[in-house]
């Protein structure tokens, strides 16, 4: 347990040892103690902990790995799912283990018929950004494994990843499982919920 981080985040975090248990990762005690660099100042952490963000430790696990090891969590359970066909974003693992500050609730919602990626990005605060698809999938799976929470339920969250110029979206995490899709013009009946993460800065925890 990291009492300093937990105090700064007002308890809104996932501990490294808990993450390791959720994903069946074998970490030595010293690996837990030294897990990843916290790229946020103490001031940012304290503010985020009081404004709807969770601090999560991210291991270097790709969407492809998660889809293989937790197939029942995903809507597209069949082997031929489109995102399993060699797209680079599903193989991304992150450069190294690190902490992410992820907004638990959506920042705002956009009806499918009004989707415009440029307008959405323009409304995001300067110190926040759209997360990669891996961060959205990983976070949704962490919440599911912890307490069967359906994070990103009934809406798609746009990511920072693109395939052929189209935004990769993650969500509609209903009883059928988490879906990964590509945004397209006019999606009536669907909603986009903008979920952000804090931009990392090279600062030590105060």
Confidence at 204, pLDDT banded by 50, 70, 90? very low
Separation CA 37–CA 32 (nearest Å): 12
Q: What is the pTM of this model?
A: 0.91
User: What pLDDT is attached to residue 205?
Assistant: 41
Q: Which residues pair with 198 in a beta bridge?
A: 128
The rounded Cα 90 to chain-centroid distance in angstroms is 13
pLDDT per residue as tens digits for the range 149-194? 999 999 999 999 999 998 999 999 987 889 999 887 656 678 889 9
pLDDT per residue as tens digits for the range 39-84? 899 999 999 999 999 999 999 999 999 998 998 898 765 556 888 8
**Beta carbons within 8 Å of 189's beta carbon, 6+ residues apart:** 112
What phi and psi values does residue 91 have, to the nearest 5 degrees?
A: -100, -5
Separation CA 56–CA 100 (nearest Å): 5
Quick one: what percent of the chain has pLDDT higher than 70?
A: 93
User: What pLDDT is attached to residue 86?
Assistant: 81
């Amino acid at each position: 347990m990291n009492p300093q981080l937990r105090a700064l985040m007002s308890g809104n975090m996932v501990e490294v040892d808990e993450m390791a248990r959720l994903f069946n990762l074998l970490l030595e005690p010293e690996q837990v103690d030294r897990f990843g660099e916290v790229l946020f100042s103490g001031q940012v952490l304290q503010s985020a902990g009081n404004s709807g963000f969770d601090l999560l430790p991210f291991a270097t696990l790709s969407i492809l790995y998660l889809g293989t090891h937790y197939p029942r969590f995903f809507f597209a359970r069949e082997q031929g799912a489109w995102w399993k066909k060699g797209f680079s974003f599903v193989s991304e693992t992150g450069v190294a283990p690190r902490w992410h500050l992820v907004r638990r609730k959506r920042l705002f919602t956009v009806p499918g018929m009004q989707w415009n990626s440029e307008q959405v990005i323009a409304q995001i605060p300067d110190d926040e950004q759209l997360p990669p698809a891996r961060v959205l999938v990983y976070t949704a799976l962490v919440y599911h494994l912890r307490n069967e929470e359906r994070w990103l339920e009934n809406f798609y969250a746009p990511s920072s990843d693109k395939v052929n110029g189209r935004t990769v979206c993650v969500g509609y995490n209903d009883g059928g499982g988490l879906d990964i899709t590509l945004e397209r013009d006019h999606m009536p009946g669907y909603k986009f919920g903008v979920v952000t993460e804090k931009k990392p800065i090279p600062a030590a925890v105060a």
